Amino acid sequence: MDYQNRAGSRFGGGGVAGYQETNAARRERLKKLALETIDLSKDPYFMKNHLGTYECRLCLTMHANENSYLTHTQGKAHQTNLARRDAMENRKAQRTAPVVQTGLSQSQVPLRKNIMKIGRPGYKASKIRDPETGQFGLRFQLKYPDIQLNVRPRYRIMSAYEQRVEAPDRKFQYLVVAAEPYESVAFKINAHEIDRSPGRFWTYWDAPTYTIQFFFNVDKLS
């Protein structure tokens, strides 16, 4: 019998080293497999940002290249967040199920939340221009120092006819940003078509700052 190859063996612990090598080899194999089989264009959490680096929209992490992103997707943090997201989607589906049975749409039965609003966030809005395409765009930075734990700001683009605050003017659209317990704020912007191609509409949550950046499909801002 060859005792040298048993784990915990007195003869230099060769078995233990062998186990570690196997783990590393396994990680390497999984990574290779992922690179060959994962289609990043179908990953809803994979995003190329305006800096040319990559982000995981689920974990809000930054990655220098696709490889680093793929390694991240197999890590514990990403897997935990995926499981959490699944559980949340399931709970949401269960909550809305009775509403569907009554024949009412979700928008007719808003979830009432008892939240004391604490005022509007500070913000900065700037005009930007993509040096490569020449497109003009806008960048909004909102500050939410007292945002609720585990709340991420969210945005919506509304047409002039969806909003109820003022008389509709088709020359404008609205960017609405919500983050509890802050009041929602709306920015009135030109109704130019927004560039929705991948990676061009960009949001980034780096608490307490929420950044939204996008470009219009025009080369002039009126």
Residue placing its CB nearer to Zn ion in the complex, 55 or 137 = 55
C-alpha to C-alpha distances, 185 to 6, 67, 70, 146, nearest whole angstrom: 66, 38, 36, 16
Minimum CB–partner distance for residue 8 and Zn ion (Å): 37
Residue placing its CB nearer to Zn ion in the complex, 78 or 200 = 78
Minimum CB–partner distance for residue 25 and Zn ion (Å): 24
Minimum CB–partner distance for residue 78 and Zn ion (Å): 3
Given a contact cutoff of 8 angstroms between Cβ atoms, the answer to whether 199 and 49 are in contact is: yes
Side chain identity at residue 192, one-letter code: H
Contacts of 142 (CB under 8 A, 6+ apart): 121, 122, 123, 153, 177, 179, 185, 209, 210, 211, 212
- Kindly state the DSSP code that residue 32 receives in the 8-state scheme: H
Total residues contacting Zn ion (rule CB under 5 A)?
A: 4
Choose the binding region for Zn ion from 57-65, 123-131, 185-193, 194-202 (rule: CB under 5 A): 57-65
Minimum CB–partner distance for residue 89 and Zn ion (Å): 16
In the shown chain, the binding pattern of residues 129 to 168 toward Zn ion, with x for contact by CB under 5 A and - for none, equals ----------------------------------------
Residue 175 in the binding site for Zn ion (CB under 5 A): no
In the shown chain, the binding pattern of residues 14 to 53 toward Zn ion, with x for contact by CB under 5 A and - for none, equals ----------------------------------------
Interacting residue with Zn ion among 40, 59, 158, 194 (CB under 5 A): 59
Query: Please, how many CA atoms are within 13 Å of residue 196, restricted to the half-sphere of its CB?
Result: 4
- Torsion angle in degrees (nearest 10) through CA of 51, 32, 24, 15: 180
What is the rounded end-to-end Cα distance, in angstroms, of the chain? 84
Residue placing its CB nearer to Zn ion in the complex, 74 or 163 = 74
Residue placing its CB nearer to Zn ion in the complex, 202 or 215 = 202
Interacting residue with Zn ion among 78, 135, 140, 189 (CB under 5 A): 78
User: Can you point out the beta strands (E) in the chain?
Assistant: 46-48, 54-56, 61-63, 122-129, 136-143, 154-159, 172-178, 185-190, 202-206, 209-215
Minimum CB–partner distance for residue 149 and Zn ion (Å): 20
Residue 58 in the binding site for Zn ion (CB under 5 A): yes
Interface with Zn ion (CB under 5 A): 56, 58-59, 78
